[in-house]
Amino acid sequence: MFVALIPPADVVEDLASFVAPRQEADATGALRWTSQEQWHVTLAFLPDVADRHLDDLCARLARAATRRTDLELAVRGAGAFPNPARARVLYAGVDTGDTEGLSRLAAGVRAAANKSGAGADGGRFHPHLTLARLRRPTEVTRWIRVFDAYTGPWWSAREVALVASHLGEGPRNRPRYELVDTFALGRG
């Protein structure tokens, strides 16, 4: 499972229209492009949520969400994990007028998961949307420059989503995502 901010359809469509011709230009096929249905900003990755923790997790996520307000976000820029010289992931960056608020939201979501026994995993929070994965470490500076030119429309994140990921059940053996629940940001 994971907890994420899911961009609205118009934001996804705008990014998809920028990504599509670049996907076609990937002559090497080294990049395994993610589908636009999978684009999201992960706040917390929950590798193994036992059924007995799910109700408490949802209750704690709801409380964590009410402690934060809506966030204005835009997809902007690009980067690679772990670095451009030996990339395994190519991503689009996320810009916000409130970087601290977004980081606090992610910290609150991770704390809620840990307190529920669901156990959040992962390193330092770095907001992004994964565009592609690479089979082996590859130099991707050229791709970063291409996607660094993109600036998407601003959107308001008003809720966080708890999503179950069913590995290998989607098209071409990719994950299939199932929305479990959403939690509104703020008290009203």
Just list the catalytic residues: 40, 128
| Residues 153, 74 contacting (CB under 8 angstroms) | yes
Give strand ranges (E) for 1-108.
2-5, 31-33, 41-45, 71-81, 87-96
- State how far the Cα of 153 lies from the Cα of 75, in Å rounded to an integer: 7
Bridge partners of 20?
A: none
**Comparing C-alpha atoms, which of 74, 64, 52 is closest to residue 3?**
64
